[in-house]
Amino acid sequence: MHRLIFNRKIAFMKKDIDMLNGSIADKIIRFAIPLAITGILQQVFNAMDVMVVGRFADKHAMAAVGSNTPIVGLIVNLLVGLSLGANITIARYIGQKREEDVKKAVHTSIIIALLAGVIFGVVGLLIAKPLLNALSVPPEVLPMASAYLRIYFTGLPVVLLYNFEAAIFRAYGDTKTPLICLIIAGILNVVLNMYFVIVLHRNADGVAIATVLSNLVSSVTMFIILIRTDRIIKVEPKRLRIDPHVFRVIIRLGLPAGIQSAVFSFSNIIIQSAINSLGPDVMAASSAAFNVEIFTYFILNAFGQACTTFIGQNYGAGNKERCKKITRYSYIMDLIATALFSAIVIWFSASILGFFSDDPNVISLGVTRVKYITYFQVVNATMEILSGTMRGYGNSVGPAVITLFGVVGTRIFWVYAVFPFSRTFQTLLTCYPISWIVTAIILITYYFIKYGRKKEAS
């Protein structure tokens, strides 16, 4: 009777995806497309920060916003990795039909988001200016960059809350609700950007305020939906507390994933410091180009997250054969989608960069970065699918350690051992594809050694 009641509660509505039964490929696409659109739109709205200050303030304000990108990425990626732990945990409990544990995981996730946001927000406020100084941000850019970063850290709890709420919906098979909430908040972000910068004549601090307010709207909207839903992931305010066991599971799965994401940002902080030493034009170009090239990453990352969530549910249900098919389908579709989207981004890169700046030198440098990064995104896709597969199986530590040494180690070596002998933007950018190739080779070797042996043993 208990199982029958549970099955009724998780009966998937038309907009949700049954990951445990039936076809696989079409469901992965249905899951990944809204997720990719969510990431792309999120970046479009973030790019409006750079675009608005670049067009209606000046390139110093544009550089100020861009110089914060690696720092924000480091903190947010670390904490959003925890939300992936919530995603895997909830998905696995759903696959195992453990209703009470699903509820505990949902409520624990909400509290983790708020507490982590507050703690890291306070720490961020204290170290914001020293971080920017360590990045060698030029004096003419530093005051605006500091103001932007402090405001962003103030709003970190609502940023994290949205990401954890989105992880809860995705674990259940719903990627559309987070997308709809993001669209609403994103439109508000664009309007507020224009208001603060054009009407009130603010610069970097204005777009930071707009970003925080829009995230507040999206997180509150998602919270209300979770309270009112009749699904198994329903939030009941009186049950909002941390369950010690579930907390440990989420941290065990999420923290390594967060570290894996954060090490990319950590290495980017080192690279950003080198970029800053090349002057405001390179800083502005790199900032604008990042907001173009990152679109391709959201495509490949969407299939990686789909792979993790699908495997999480099916591994929880004990269906290992289906897990292998999920990895295979995810990888093939990810490679195809990434290659196609990369070609589109490269083809239109100059035109898109023109929206950020009308300075020919900034546009030219931006195109250079887009090409160096985007040509090799298919290698990044390999890393995402293999890492996503292993996280779905519950192995988050292996990919994190490999990424730490492969990505961070290679990039640190390049910045300090190669770049000083050829201080050009092109030399610096070369560290991205090299670090991906090195890490992908190690990941592939690790994956087949670890899981190939399991296959032989079975």
Total tally of structural domains belonging to the chain: 1
Q: Span 450-455, mean pLDDT?
A: 63
Q: Helices 25-56 and 156-172: crossing angle, nearest 10°?
A: 160
Q: What is the pLDDT of residue 172?
A: 85
Under the banding of pLDDT at 50, 70 and 90, the label for residue 8 is very low
Does pLDDT of 12 surpass 50?
no
Q: What is the pLDDT of residue 57?
A: 63
Is residue 2 included in any domain, yes or no?
no
Q: Span 215-242, mean pLDDT?
A: 90
Q: What is the pLDDT of residue 223?
A: 94
Does pLDDT of 316 surpass 50?
yes
Average pLDDT, the chain: 83
Q: What is the pLDDT of residue 452?
A: 67
Q: What is the pLDDT of residue 15?
A: 52
Q: What is the pLDDT of residue 292?
A: 83
Both structure tokens of 388: 């996503």
Give residue for tokens 């919270």.
223
Instruction: Determine the structural domain holding residue 448 and report its residue range.
Output: 25-457
Both structure tokens of 136: 């060698």
CA 257/CA 312 separation, integer angstroms: 14
Is residue 185 included in any domain, yes or no?
yes
Q: What is the pLDDT of residue 165?
A: 94
Under the banding of pLDDT at 50, 70 and 90, the label for residue 278 is confident
Q: Span 233-245, mean pLDDT?
A: 90
CA angle 58/424/259 to nearest 5° reads 80
Does pLDDT of 378 surpass 60?
yes
Both structure tokens of 340: 């196609």
Under the banding of pLDDT at 50, 70 and 90, the label for residue 59 is low
**Residue range 115-165, pLDDT digits in tens:** 988 998 898 888 877 777 776 677 777 777 888 888 888 888 998 899 899
**Residue range 327-337, pLDDT digits in tens:** 999 999 999 99
Does pLDDT of 106 surpass 90?
yes
Is residue 325 included in any domain, yes or no?
yes
Q: What is the pLDDT of residue 225?
A: 93
Contacts of 100 (CB under 8 A, 6+ apart): none
**Residue range 348-368, pLDDT digits in tens:** 888 888 877 778 888 888 899
For the chain, give the number of residues: 458
CA 452/CA 281 separation, integer angstroms: 49
Q: What is the pLDDT of residue 457?
A: 39
Is residue 7 included in any domain, yes or no?
no
Is residue 344 included in any domain, yes or no?
yes
Is residue 36 included in any domain, yes or no?
yes
Distances (CA, A) of 255 to 15, 35, 102, 248, 378: 30, 22, 19, 10, 26
Highest mean pLDDT among 22-31, 56-65, 309-318, 327-336 belongs to: 327-336
Q: Span 62-83, mean pLDDT?
A: 74
**Residue range 397-419, pLDDT digits in tens:** 888 889 888 888 899 899 999 99
Is residue 3 included in any domain, yes or no?
no
**Residue range 159-180, pLDDT digits in tens:** 889 989 998 998 888 888 888 9
Is residue 9 included in any domain, yes or no?
no
175 or 307, which is more confident = 307
Using CB atoms within 10 Å of the CB of residue 244, give its burial: 0 to 12 exposed, 13 to 18 middle, 19+ buried: exposed
Highest mean pLDDT among 26-35, 40-49, 78-87, 256-265 belongs to: 26-35
Q: What is the pLDDT of residue 273?
A: 80
